[in-house]
Amino acid sequence: MSEESDVGKALLRTGAAVPVTLLQESVMPALDEAEFGLRLELSFVDEDSPEEDRADVAEWGALGFLFVIGVLSFADARPRGVSDMHYIERDEFRITDLVAALKFRNGELHLDTDYVRGRRVKTRVVVRPDGSATIETIGRGKAALRWIARLQGEKPVRVVD
């Protein structure tokens, strides 16, 4: 087993443990109706967590959360146009993909993915120190709602050896 695989599994476990509440969903229209964007506003608490725990959760869970969203988004993504030549059916989002897409801006962690090895991922995630987060997708339908549902326990995210 590789070190990257071990780190990826640890990040998945951490990200899957982050309590997430969907606060707001908004559709961002586009010229082509099929290319609409979706914006989700989230909080790192659930009905069992006190609101003041959000910042603590952001401290221990932000990187794992970003990796889990990257993995789910990548798994759902398909090629578009000429990106088909780089597409590999049985591929995975990697730690190197996370690092390449990760930025720290104004005290926030940003994951910004466009095309990754032939997949049209088009997902941006921002995690703030106060335990709030935003996910924005373009041309992905309402897939991000399924990712959040999985994190909330519907077909839960599981790490498999």
Is 96 a domain residue?
A: yes
Q: How far apart are CA 36 and CA 116, in angstroms?
A: 20
**Angle at the Cα of 99 (from 64 to 96), degrees rounded to 5?**
100
Q: What total of structural domains would you count in the chain?
A: 1
Residue with tokens 């476990």: 13
Is 130 a domain residue?
A: yes
DSSP single-letter state for residue 32: S
Is 158 a domain residue?
A: no
Is 159 a domain residue?
A: no
Is 160 a domain residue?
A: no
Is 117 a domain residue?
A: yes
Read off the pLDDT band of 99 (50, 70, 90).
very high
Is 111 a domain residue?
A: yes
* Contact call for residues 148 and 122 (beta carbons, < 8 A): no
Is 47 a domain residue?
A: yes
pLDDT digits over 29-78, tens only?
877 776 788 999 999 987 777 777 888 999 999 999 999 999 999 999 88
How much of the chain, in percent, has pLDDT values that exceed 90? 63
Asked if the model's pLDDT at residue 129 lies above 80, the reply is: yes
Structural domain including 121 reads: 3-151
Per-residue confidence (pLDDT) for residue 161, from 0 to 100 = 58
pLDDT digits over 133-155, tens only?
999 999 888 999 999 999 988 86
Read off the tokens for 82.
Answer: 């000429």
